[in-house]
Structure 1
Amino acid sequence: MVLLAQQLGEHALAWFALALTVSVLGAGLACRMLQRRHPLPNTGEPDESRLALGLGLGFVLILAAAVLVAWIASHLGDGRTMGRADQALADAIAAHVPWGALVSFSWLTHLGDAQLLAPVCGLVALLLWRHAHRGLALGWVTALGGIVVLNPALKHIFARARPVHDHGLALETSFSFPSGHSAGAIVSYGMLLYLALRLLPARWHVPAAMASVAAIVTIACSRIFLQVHFASDVAAGLLTGLGWLLVCVSSLEYARHRKRRTAR
């Protein structure tokens, strides 16, 4: 595993380009196939009370599972193999990735900054509310607010130190595991994709899916390239964000279907 991580780090830019291309094209293809087989209607608002119940229960379950995982992890040893692989990948990236590429990633990583996503959250919520999509507005705000609470809680549970990053392009001082940028990116851009699928004409669905996946993959990988996170931090952040995103979207869809069935 350590040798594989070192080899990946030596050709990190090529692997990133491949992962980005496959992910973006795969997202576009998957969205197109779903459009043909299961068209997504854009009618129906979720019931706010059922939505709040689903989101609250989902949040508690995820947090409880994280505490259990942390307790189990503390009894499994220090994870030397994974730690060495993480460090080998970070060292190989530091040695082989050109400075210009690091500068580019230092700009791209800001797409996942809270300072950017917070105003976007407020603007989107305002637009949804003004167009009478109040259930979607509540789901959107809760999704982004939930990950803001969930990720720091997980960081303090695991309390993992960050890798050394003294290049001057980025500076992070909080705990490392899981990656907040990765979790925030998949929740924010995933929810934007859900809103696009729900509200925009069908011709925008495939471009929205491809753009969302491109942003998520780029932000997540930028954290590894900038060495502010280990690869396992980013993987955990993506999984954490994906879990919360699924809770939010499932709650919205459940509430919408229940409200539409009750209206009949």
Structure 2
Amino acid sequence: MDDDLTQALAWAEWLGAHALPVLVTALLAVLMACAALVVGFHRYGNHIAWSRLPRPLLLGLCLAVGAGVLVGMASLFAEMLEAFDAQEEIGQFDERLTETLARELSPTVLRFFGLWTQLGDPWPLTLLVMMVALVLLLRRYTSLALGWAVTCAGGGLLNRLLKSIFERVRPLHDHGFAQADGYSFPSGHTSGSLVVYGMLAYLCLRLLPPRWHLGGVLLAATLAFTVGWSRVILQVHWASDVIAGFAFGVAWLTLCITAIELARRHSRA
């Protein structure tokens, strides 16, 4: 066993033994980053004269952002696929982390996360998508309602397609606090939660008064982040499944919001 693999397995055991403190610390870091983005949006967002840019340049910038994120996601997926085939560090790291979590976590922790992870189940998210779409239509935000529906539904369909391509088997999970079937990679709960709650944060910034912005974004970030990592805590997904779910969710969300904003500014031109 080479030194890199030994170190990776040691990290997996350490993370599994300190899962909850690591999760809380990572969540706080994410919330601080989101808060900084909201503050920056309030301070500088209105001063960026996007509407004054020539339309071809604006289109090129939007396409570059979307393409860059998608290329990054594709590269990550390709590296993970190679690691799966070779049973290298990623796969063995996943296995060691899952084994350590199964050994270290108490039934109380698993029961809590078994309830919490339901916030990312398909039916609650589908119901939320339908309710928000209806509210947007009643408020006559037709374009936003269409963008919301396409983003959320398209993310779910693409995730299913990716699962059928990779066909990765889930880890064994017989503790009884969560059940999951189908293929594992990438995590649908993770990408679905990030896309739906991320779009809610976007709608919050677009439609609500500024006093609601910070709370809305932080709540959305908390839900997306914790639902995603609950899948690892519950041992129904490998850690790399969740990382890939976040990567796919960020890429798809960035592309769709870019397209929505481009369409909005085009209609105002």
- Whether 2:39 is the aligned partner of 1:32: answer yes
9-18 vs 78-87, which deviates more?
A: 78-87
Percent identity, aligned pairs only? 38
Alignment of 1:45-64 (within 5 A): none
CA contact (8 A) 1:121 1:144 kept: yes
Aligned to 1:51: none
2:154, 2:93 → 1: CA distance?
Answer: 31
Equivalent of residue 6 in structure 1, options 7, 10, 13 = 13
Q: Which amino acid aligns with 2:208?
A: L
CA deviations 1:214-258 (Å, max 9, x no partner) are 001110110000000000000001111111101110000000111
2:19, 2:76 → 1: CA distance?
Answer: 34
Dislocated runs of 4+, deviation >3 Å: 65-77
CA contact (8 A) 1:66 1:154 kept: no
- Whether 2:200 is the aligned partner of 1:192: answer yes
Equivalent of residue 113 in structure 1, options 108, 117, 121 = 121
Equivalent of residue 25 in structure 2, options 8, 12, 18 = 18
Q: CA deviation at 1:29?
A: 2.8
Q: CA deviation at 1:30?
A: 2.2
Q: Classify 1:95/1:72 alpha carbon distance in 2 versus 1 (closer, same or farther; 3 Å).
A: closer
User: Could you say what secondary structure the match of 1:228 adopts?
Assistant: coil
Equivalent of residue 136 in structure 2, options 128, 133, 139 = 128
- Whether 2:222 is the aligned partner of 1:236: answer no
The one of the two structures with greater contact order (alpha-carbon pairs below 8 A, sep at least 6) is 1
1:197, 1:223 → 2: CA distance?
Answer: 29
1:253, 1:7 → 2: CA distance?
Answer: 43
Alignment of 1:74-153 (within 5 A): 77-153=85-161
69-78 vs 224-233, which deviates more?
A: 69-78
Aligned to 1:49: none
CA contact (8 A) 2:121 2:189 kept: yes
Q: Which amino acid aligns with 2:44?
A: R
CA contact (8 A) 2:81 2:166 kept: no
Q: CA deviation at 1:148?
A: 1.4
User: Could you say what secondary structure the match of 2:248 adopts?
Assistant: helix
CA contact (8 A) 1:178 1:236 kept: yes
1:206, 1:68 → 2: CA distance?
Answer: 31
1:14, 1:67 → 2: CA distance?
Answer: 30
Q: Which amino acid aligns with 1:22?
A: A
CA contact (8 A) 1:179 1:234 kept: yes
Unaligned 5+ segments in structure 1 are 42-53
CA deviations 1:153-206 (Å, max 9, x no partner) are 100111000001000111111000000000001100000000000000001000
CA contact (8 A) 1:147 1:187 kept: yes
Q: CA deviation at 1:69?
A: 5.4
User: Could you say what secondary structure the match of 1:160 adopts?
Assistant: coil
1:33, 1:242 → 2: CA distance?
Answer: 19
Aligned to 1:164: 172
C-alpha RMSD of matched pairs (Å): 2.7
User: Could you say what secondary structure the match of 2:171 adopts?
Assistant: coil
CA contact (8 A) 2:80 2:90 kept: no
Q: Classify 1:198/1:242 alpha carbon distance in 2 versus 1 (closer, same or farther; 3 Å).
A: same
Q: Classify 1:40/1:206 alpha carbon distance in 2 versus 1 (closer, same or farther; 3 Å).
A: farther
Aligned to 1:46: none
CA contact (8 A) 1:28 1:207 kept: no
CA contact (8 A) 1:24 1:213 kept: yes
